[in-house]
A and B are shown apart, each in its own frame.
Chain A
Amino acid sequence: MPLSKDEVRHVAMLARLSLEPGDEEFYAEQLSGILAHIDRLQQLDTESIPPTAQVVEVANTLREDVPRPGLTQADALANAPAAVDGFFRVPSIQEEA
């Protein structure tokens, strides 16, 4: 089923992607085309088929709960676009009251 522009706006918000002029039409058209192909999955009866999330044989790999070296603070911050006093700097998170 084709995507409406409202749906595109909703999904873009969920995906944290801002929309520029032309984006709504672009995504609506392109995603609808891809979903039209994907809709063939509905032809298959999968009522009794379990889902496969991953194909490996291993499950719940555990390790001893012992400390081991991690990144230093300097390493962790080295790629930050903005860091202040050992913290990542971001725009304000809360609105002013």
Chain B
Amino acid sequence: MSELTELTIKEAARLLRLRSISAADLVTAHVDRIQQLDRRVKAFLRFTPELWDKQADQADKRIKDGDPGPLVGIPMAVKDVLCVRGVETTAGSQILRGFKPPYTGTAMSRLFEAGAVMLGVTNCDEFAMGSSTENSGYHPTHNPWDLDRVPGGSSGGSAAAVAAGEAMIALGTDTGGSIRQPAALCGVVGMKPTYGRVSRYGLIAFASSLDQIGPFARCVDDAAITLAAMAGHDPLDATSSDRVGRDVLNNYGEGVEGMRLGVPREYYDVQGIESGVKAAIDQAIKSLRDAGAEIVDVSLPHTDYGLAAYYIIAPAECSSNLARFDGVRYGMFTEDAENITEAYMRTRRKGFGTEVRRRVMLGTYALSSGYYDAYYLKAQKVRTLIKRDFDEAFQKCDAIVSATSPTVAFPIGSKTQDPLSMYLCDVLTLGGNLAGLPGISVPCGMSEGLPVGLQVLAPQWGENVALRVARTYEESSGVKAEVAPLD
């Protein structure tokens, strides 16, 4: 029943309602697909058979009782930074090997309540730091469109699982592009909500002022349904907004007729953008114009400073957040240390991988006495300038469109020796995090046989606007996310 692994949520829900299939059938089809393919893709780190049995069983009971919820019985994968009680969660790091969270994060519990069925835990860059999933403390993940290439990152396992038909939807986190960039590179839809839209309770923190949880799916509707189910205020996250979660769907079915879409020249001509990516974006812009949108030039003049500001703020927050990994309350511990400082130092040296140590060092340096004003405070001021750039651009347009990533998926190993070249993968996405904006990446064709993603950014709380543009594009262009032809 391999076609069951190509369904969208709406199609699956219809078949479930008709009793043509059961939630258990849906799980079995995905587990079969995983068994057949995941040795090559390596999207998953762990599986949760005890959960999928129980949750599929509950879903079938709910369907029998007439529950019309769209997510009942939908198979879902969860990134390894999101806590589910009793399920080993390691943030892709050896330092957390064996850690079983004592509670379930809010986004996950809301999706479970909505009826989603968890298949397993997906691979990612260690502590979500990276753009290729090569920084995983376990193994790299392979792009389902070309197994010699990266799936992007940091949520590369989730993107690859959805692209490979191993899960219908997946959860990721996005701190500088970690949902949108792998979605682009794997040819699926990925959305980062407005900062504060989804509770971060139960998300293992990387950079707390930037992190957001969001969905991966194979169509815009599925991403919207998944986001709506987890959005909304949570008293357990003081930064979560009290806006109504379902607002993300307001007017979202309407087209783009009369909307103004801004094309920032700094993004359009960003350094290193591949000609094939540019051609696909040109085509997408044309398609949106044909659908009735007005295309306007806008400018984000501080784009060239975004990466620099981000690579102070994110490492600074990471160095603070990761101080808790000391080998005392959870995770790895080094035996035979003379004293507690030595125990901390040896545990952290051994447990953290190269990129995490690099960022902890960078962040600690930027926050250290004598350098705080020159680096951290300066970066926060530049963050203000970047946010103002977006505020001004949104005076002239309703949403911003650009490429998600300047390049298509790159070969495994090609950027690991040069951290700056890897960081540049996020140059078009991290502005959205610095300004707290919602952004979505939607497939917009291929270049050199590999997927290209179109990014739509909207003003804060404008998820409905971003979704509306993405959905109109999907509908009018006829470009749909497809399951990668792996068989």
User: A interface vs B, CB < 8 Å?
Assistant: 3, 7-8, 10-12, 14-20, 27, 30-31, 33-35, 37-42, 44, 46, 49-58, 61, 63, 71, 75-76, 78-82, 88, 90-93, 95
B134 at the interface (CB under 8 A from A): no
Interface string of B161-196 (1 = CB under 8 A from A): 000000000000000000000000000000000011
**CB contact between B419 and one of A10, A33, A52, A92 (< 8 Å): that residue:** A33
**CB contact between B358 and one of A31, A76, A81, A95 (< 8 Å): that residue:** A31
For A46, the chain B residues whose CB sits under 8 A away are: 378, 381-382, 385
Contact between B382 and A54, CB atoms less than 8 A apart:
no
The 17 listed contacts between A and B (C-beta, < 8 Å) are: A7-B365, A15-B361, A16-B344, A17-B345, A17-B357, A31-B362, A33-B419, A38-B308, A38-B311, A41-B379, A57-B241, A61-B238, A78-B102, A79-B99, A90-B328, A90-B343, A91-B339
Contact between A52 and B341, CB atoms less than 8 A apart:
no
In the assembly, what is the distance between CA of A10 and CA of B383, in Å?
28
Residue of A nearest to B319 (CB): A15
For B338, the chain A residues whose CB sits under 8 A away are: 91
B332 to chain A: closest CB distance in Å?
Answer: 7
In the assembly, what is the distance between CA of A88 and CA of B329, in Å?
7
Residue of B nearest to A72 (CB): B102
Contact between B380 and A80, CB atoms less than 8 A apart:
no
Contact between B364 and A15, CB atoms less than 8 A apart:
yes
In the assembly, what is the distance between CA of A27 and CA of B357, in Å?
9
Contact between A93 and B307, CB atoms less than 8 A apart:
no
For B102, the chain A residues whose CB sits under 8 A away are: 71, 75-76, 78-79
A22 to chain B: closest CB distance in Å?
Answer: 12
**CB contact between B196 and one of A8, A39, A58 (< 8 Å): that residue:** A58
Which residues of B from 66 to 101 have beta carbons under 8 Å from A? 98-100
Given contacts A44-B385, A56-B436, is CB(A31)–CB(B308) below 8 Å?
no
In the assembly, what is the distance between CA of A11 and CA of B365, in Å?
6
In the assembly, what is the distance between CA of A11 and CA of B348, in Å?
14
For A10, the chain B residues whose CB sits under 8 A away are: 368
Given contacts A16-B345, A31-B358, A80-B330, is CB(A50)–CB(B381) below 8 Å?
yes
Contact between A41 and B327, CB atoms less than 8 A apart:
no
Contact between A80 and B328, CB atoms less than 8 A apart:
yes
Please classify how large the interface on chain B is, using the bins under 10, 10 to 19, 20 to 34, 35 or more.
35 or more
Residue of B nearest to A57 (CB): B241
In the assembly, what is the distance between CA of A53 and CA of B207, in Å?
12
In the assembly, what is the distance between CA of A10 and CA of B326, in Å?
19
A16, A44, A57, A92: most-surrounded residue (chain B CB, <10 A): A16
B307 to chain A: closest CB distance in Å?
Answer: 7
Contacts A8-B361, A57-B241 known; list 11 others, CB within 8 Å. Answer: A31-B358, A37-B311, A40-B304, A44-B305, A49-B381, A49-B382, A49-B384, A49-B385, A52-B387, A55-B436, A79-B330
A92 to chain B: closest CB distance in Å?
Answer: 6
In the assembly, what is the distance between CA of A88 and CA of B460, in Å?
43
Contact between B341 and A82, CB atoms less than 8 A apart:
no
B387 to chain A: closest CB distance in Å?
Answer: 6
For B224, the chain A residues whose CB sits under 8 A away are: none
B239 at the interface (CB under 8 A from A): yes
B272 to chain A: closest CB distance in Å?
Answer: 14
In the assembly, what is the distance between CA of A75 and CA of B100, in Å?
10
B238, B368, B381: most-surrounded residue (chain A CB, <10 A): B381
Contact between A93 and B340, CB atoms less than 8 A apart:
yes
In the assembly, what is the distance between CA of A59 and CA of B99, in Å?
33
For B360, the chain A residues whose CB sits under 8 A away are: 15, 17
In the assembly, what is the distance between CA of A31 and CA of B357, in Å?
11
**CB contact between A50 and one of B240, B341, B345, B384 (< 8 Å): that residue:** B384
B333 at the interface (CB under 8 A from A): yes
For A61, the chain B residues whose CB sits under 8 A away are: 238-239
**CB contact between B361 and one of A12, A40, A53, A95 (< 8 Å): that residue:** A12
B346 at the interface (CB under 8 A from A): yes
